[in-house]
Chains A and B, each alone.
Chain A
Amino acid sequence: MSLDKATVAKVANLARIRVEEEDLEGLASELNSILDWVEQLGEVDTENTPPMTSVADMQLRWRQDEITDGGYQEDIVANAPSPEDGFFGVPKVIE
């Protein structure tokens, strides 16, 4: 499998990471060398092997339906780059 520049650009967009045009080539070759190396996994017979779901031998614990959290608006927006009256402000979205 070989990634071209266009694929890298597509993946970068999917990941919302701005990559300059001139950096695409280098990134493509780095990613290709990693993915080529990963190809070796194909040598392992996993025909009847289930994928790992959890390393810990345990069951999911359930929490009771009780209100135990929230109620601290100030703390929620305390670190916001653009807090607006208890809201998070983001560039205007036109739908």
Chain B
Amino acid sequence: MGMIIQGATGDWEVVIGMEVHAQVMSKAKLFSGSATEYGAEQNSQVSFVDAAMPGMLPVINEMAVEQAVRTGLGLKAQINKYSVFDRKNYFYADLPQGYQISQFLQPIVGEGKLTIDLKDGETKEIGITRLHLEQDAGKSIHDQHPTMTLVDLNRSGVALMEIVSEPDIRSPEEAAAYMKKLRSILRYLGTCDGNMEEGSMRADVNVSVRRLGDPLGTRCEMKNLNSVRFIQQAIIYEANRQVDILEEGGEIDQETRLYDSVKGETRSMRSKEEAHDYRYFPDPDLLPLQFDDAFIEKVKADLPELPDEKKARFVSELGITPYDAGVLVAEKEVADYFEAVAKGRDAKLSANWVIGELFGNLNRTSKSLSESPVSADGLGELIDLIKDGTISNRIAKEVFEEMFESGKAAGVIVDEKGLKQVSDTGAIEAAIDEVMAANMDKVEEYRGGKDKLIGFFMGQVMKATGGKANPGVVNKLLKPKLDG
């Protein structure tokens, strides 16, 4: 559902386009051989090229090209076999060359699309305008020195993919879903680690408002938002700000605005705005980037199954509900875990255990899946024990808690604690006899027509067997005995 702002003069529709900068997963930088790892000591992952020393030249990293193509394929996009690196010229302390090598008129990837998942299993298609490769800038630190800004160039020259969407997004929720879905796809592809806290994914969000059916309004861009929550908050604030201005008869200035997450508001960045004229031109240190169909085919050949296809398969082949399938495929790690559990087992039961018990326990203990004490094989073993009647579903939950706690295998816990389900009819019959003997009054009442008491007897028998009696067997034996 689109976001509608009800103003005093009528309804306003919110229109959003996103530019996401995703750091390419690669060992070395886009145009130099220095490392890309996060968190290194200042200026320790910097080459003379990254520091733009005189006479230094760029040489492209093939991995960046491959990752961009892979991402383009994942976004069902046009792959351009001929693209051009341009220089985007501007001065800033953390931009050592005085220009960023980027792609302007001829990007490596053209139009594509991305399907976002909304509430209630609904989906919506968002157009992708383009994806291009470019260099990241360094980092300016403003608060570590009383009179100076300190510049660290470790990130200078790291490969980024800038992924630009069409203005197809209509609400903060859709923006969040877009970001999550894009992150999911990139992580499936292994082209970006999606780590927003470390800045591996940042979004520039363009927001405008308009009367329903009107052409696009003037937009404002909020740069470098690094969390899904901030993206949503910024959109809400900004859309309302624009509506307020328009309702009062004002006009929106096209500008870059900064989202202040502390104050929860956006404000103009006039300082960065002044007379930008990037003077793009093809980088004369580089030739056009070219590859053939064979290269694209090679990348295509080892493309993994992506979340949308996986979801469809889970639904059609495994009989999982679309909602559960959506939950299971959001993270590749989860999907892989689930598939390992479900392999050769009851898929629905496996899904219930992953989404219910496993997620529940992970959430409760704030653990990620990779930190789970219960492996996919371990959970699979537990499910096998349920399936072959060794333990009941109820006991299995107990066993799972214990597995999560101690890391022990399900079979070991069942053995140690003697939780094996009793299916021996003799033992169960004895227990039934015992319970009936102790509750003759209730037996009479039952026989007098109070059928519902069967539940009471069921419970008592289970209790008498320490919960280990096979409920199916109990059920089968109990009724004839009660009926006399």
Contact = CB atoms under 8 A, between A and B. Distances in A.
Q: Is there direct touching of A and B in the complex, by C-beta distance under 8 Å? A: yes
Contacts of B43: 73, 76-77, 86-88
A32 to B, nearest CB: 20
Contacts of A92: 142, 145, 147-149
Contacts of A61: 59-60
B50 A70 contact: yes
Nearest to A86: B42
Contacts of B142: 92-95
A66 B27 contact: yes
B46 A70 contact: yes
Given A73-B42, A90-B148, A67 B62 contact: no
Contact of A84 (B27, B61, B145, B153): B145
Interface residues of B, number: 51
Nearest to B150: A87
A82 interface: yes
Contacts of A75: 48
B228 to A, nearest CB: 23
A65 B279 CA distance: 30
Interface string B49-75: 111000000011111110000000000
B23 interface: no
Contacts of A77: 43
The residue in A16, A68, A69, A75 that gathers the most chain B C-beta atoms within 10 A of its C-beta is A69
Interface in A45-95: 53-54, 56, 58-71, 73, 75-77, 82, 84-95
B44 A70 contact: yes
A68 B28 contact: yes
Given A67-B27, A70-B33, A70-B34, A93 B140 contact: yes
Q: Chain A interface: which size bin?
A: 35 or more
A58 B287 CA distance: 8
Interface of A is mostly: loop
Contacts of B152: 87
A14 interface: yes
A88 B33 contact: no
Given A67-B28, A87-B152, A93 B35 contact: no
Interface string A1-37: 0000000001001101000000000000000000000
A66 B33 contact: yes
B98 to A, nearest CB: 8
B153 A63 contact: no
Contact of B271 (A10, A56, A58, A95): A95
A87 B145 CA distance: 11
A64 B63 CA distance: 7
A56 B285 CA distance: 12
Contacts of A76: 43, 46, 48, 51, 153
Residue of A59, A65, A82, A92 most packed against chain B (CB within 10 A):
A65
B93 interface: yes
B277 interface: yes
Contacts of A91: 147-149
A54 B288 CA distance: 9
A34 to B, nearest CB: 18
A82 B244 CA distance: 47
Contacts of A71: 34-35, 44-45
A56 B185 CA distance: 39
B316 interface: no
A89 B59 contact: no
B149 A53 contact: no
Contact of B63 (A13, A65, A93): A65
Given A93-B142, A93-B149, A63 B59 contact: yes
A88 to B, nearest CB: 4
Interface in B339-357: none
A66 B29 CA distance: 9
Contacts of A13: 275
Given A53-B282, A67-B34, A71-B45, A82 B60 contact: no
A90 to B, nearest CB: 5
A43 B146 CA distance: 58
A54 B28 contact: no
Contact of A63 (B33, B141, B258): B33
Nearest to A13: B275
A88 B44 contact: no
A56 B140 CA distance: 38
Contacts of B28: 63, 65-69
B454 interface: no
Contacts of B45: 70-71
B62 A62 contact: yes
The 8 closest A-B pairs by CB, nearest first: A70-B34, A68-B33, A65-B63, A69-B33, A62-B62, A69-B47, A87-B150, A89-B148
13 contacts: A16-B91, A56-B287, A59-B287, A60-B290, A63-B33, A66-B27, A67-B28, A67-B35, A68-B28, A69-B28, A70-B32, A71-B34, A95-B269
Given A64-B62, A67-B34, A94-B142, 5 more contacts: A62-B60, A65-B63, A68-B28, A73-B41, A75-B48
